[in-house]
Amino acid sequence: MSKTSNLLNEPMPKKPLDRRIILAAGVILMVSLGAVYAWSFFIKPLRETFLWSNMQVSAVFSLAVAGLGFAALYTGPLVSKLGGRRLMKRASVFFVVGYLIAALGLYLGSGVVGSIETPWVSWVSFITLALGYGVIGGIGLGTGYVTAVTTIAGWFPDKKGFATGVIVMGFGLGALFMSKVFAPISMKLTSGNIALTFLIIAGVYAVIMSLACRFIYSPHVANEAIKMPTVAENYEHGMAVRVKLWMTCFLYSVAGLGIISIMSPLMQKVLSDANSTLSTAELTAAGATLIAAASVGNSVGRLFWAWLSDHVGRIIAFILLLSSSAIAFIVLPHITSPLIFGILISYTIASYGGGFGTIPSLISDIYGPKRMSAIHGLVLSGWASAGLLAPTFFGFMNDVIPQQAATYAYYICAGALILATILVITLNRIHKECIKPA
């Protein structure tokens, strides 16, 4: 590799680089970052060990979600200024340090400075955990997510949908890897010591992410032959386009995150209605199975819908995934078969993932690759806002009107998706104009 540096002070390859290497490195980084979606794995051991409430433990995840969205908003404009490699290294540091600080917080609550039953010990431990995993780790998540997606999209202007679908699918698969492989093995190695488990996770991810960052190159070192300038490069957009994209992301995230937050109890209710002899353990196991199936659907949906958008167009793909998911939500209140219910729920989550797989390419089509990162960061703040609002509101409905909560949730999700479909349709004209060759 040449020591010559470009304007972003990144190493330049001596010969044309196989862009599939950058894609593979990006997927590895996104699988690492996607571990955040496996937070529910640690909820039970954290509550049993540190005596925290459900609300406290869930708040840590909410902070991480908010950190991801709002860090992406800040990071977006920096991608073209600082370069992909530098920002991915920065993201890796924040992500790993977040786990280390979280491990410190759990260590402080393990009896080192006093009993966890002592209020001040409990709060010092909890606040340190929240600061590390939620705030510091969330900054790493947002920085890495928007940087990886923007970098990969720049390397694949001819296959944007497929490439961004693959990269965001990695984020979805990260939760599956963490909850089914890495976390259980780490907990077994440490005999259930969560502080040591977080230390192991931090150490392993530090090595993996450091190695992957060495294969990240910004798209400006790509072969000129794959660059495809369009009208979007210099098109002047009004604020309305940004608002429509933000609202689209917010609305499909309300539906996706809202239903994810109550997915297990919904499945348990359908099962208990169909067979009242099932035990609590059997119902819980069925709920966990649905969560696993939906996680796979989330990952596959990110790739499938993004790939489809390369062939049928971004707008058509978005209309199909949003409207079909809305229809599924309208049908769900009338479903009594657990199997059909599980299939429909998994499909709605796959469509939710499809939104994340497709929207980076839609943004790139409309604004061009140079402005994509800034707009993508802005749009992801819509996801963060939905993450703060939807699960809390759906949980509130379950507390206040438990019998009607599920039906209301389905119709709220359907309404949000119908509105999102209408917004996407209004973007059709500007999209057609912007994808014309320059």
- Which domains are seen in the chain, by residue range? 2-226 (1.20.1250.20), 231-434 (1.20.1250.20)
Joined together, the tokens standing for residue 255 give: 């539906």
pLDDT-flagged residues of the chain (< 70)? 1-16, 220-228, 264, 284, 287-288
CB neighbour list of residue 11: distance below 8 Å, 6 or more residues apart: 1, 2, 3, 5, 85, 217
Tokens 């992957």, residue located: 212
Q: Which helix (H) or strand (E) holds 11?
A: strand 11-12
> How far is 311 from 361, CA to CA, in rounded Å?
13
- pLDDT score, position 336: 85
Give the pLDDT of residue 82. Answer: 84
3: part of which helix (H) or strand (E)?
strand 2-5
- Structure tokens given for 79: 């991608």
**pLDDT at site 9:** 65
Rounded to 5 degrees, what are φ and ψ at 14? -70, -35
Q: Give the tens place of pLDDT for each residue, 322-363.
A: 999 999 999 999 988 888 988 999 899 999 999 999 999 999
Q: Whole-prediction pTM value?
A: 0.82
Express each pLDDT in 92-117 by its tens digit. Answer: 999 999 999 999 999 998 888 888 88
Look at residue 4 and give its three-state secondary structure.
strand
What pLDDT sits at residue 367?
A: 92
